[in-house]
Amino acid sequence: MTIITNDWQGELSNTCSCQNYDEETDTFTDATECYGDCWDDALYVFKHDLGEWFTNNEDGWWQVNGLPLWDRNVSGTFRAIPITESPTLAGGSVAKVVSFTNARRDIEEFVRGITIRGEWNLRYRLDGDVLLARLSHHDVPTGRPFTVTYGKNPDA
């Protein structure tokens, strides 16, 4: 697989740090206190960048090709169902309001399926119906590319 790009759409890291923005100088500085908002913000931006590509996968099966681990690249399927609305309520009505917890959980499940347990950095961009990505971590410090596409239930 060859993915060569310097035109990444975004970057996501699980080692984000909280920063304060100074409007007068248009600069960021490290915050003295951090409440984990940077991770929530990063997930929100990532899900927004993926947009309809992510939310239109109603059955939630994803195919990963070439995910870089320490000694090899792996491929396979996983499930992370995009939550676009709440389940049907009693009486058949559907709640149109999505709770923050559920909206965050679906993208976190997706991120868990395309990263490792440990510190990592992910650069990404959508190219049609394919997510092109480059994952860096302690075993692959310069990163290696992989792709994510819609998958199929392996038991179907």
- The tens digit of pLDDT for each residue in 8-53 reads 789 999 887 777 788 899 888 887 776 667 788 888 889 999 989 9
Task: Quote the pLDDT of residue 31.
Answer: 76
Structural domain includes residue 116 = yes
Q: Residue 101: pLDDT above 50? A: no
Dihedrals phi, psi of 39, to nearest 5 degrees: -65, -45
Which residues face 145 on adjacent strands? Answer: 134
Structural domain includes residue 20 = no
Domain count, the chain: 1
Structural domain includes residue 90 = yes
pTM of the predicted model as reported, rounded to 2 decimal places = 0.73
Structural domain includes residue 44 = no
Q: Residue 84: pLDDT above 50? A: yes
Structural domain includes residue 100 = yes
- Which residue segment(s) compose the domain that 122 sits in? 57-150
Strands 61-68 and 73-79: antiparallel
Element (H, E) at 135: strand 130-137
Structural domain includes residue 12 = no
Structural domain includes residue 133 = yes
pLDDT band at 155 (very low <50, low <70, confident <90, very high): confident
Q: Residue 4: pLDDT above 60? A: no
Which of 20-29, 34-43, 96-105, 125-134 shows the lowest mean pLDDT across its residues? 96-105
> For the chain, what percent of residues have pLDDT higher than 90?
40
pLDDT band at 83 (very low <50, low <70, confident <90, very high): low
Structural domain includes residue 84 = yes
Show the 3-state SS of 84-101. Answer: CCCCECCCCCECCCCCHH
Contact assessment for residue 34 and residue 19, using Cβ atoms and an 8 Å cutoff: no
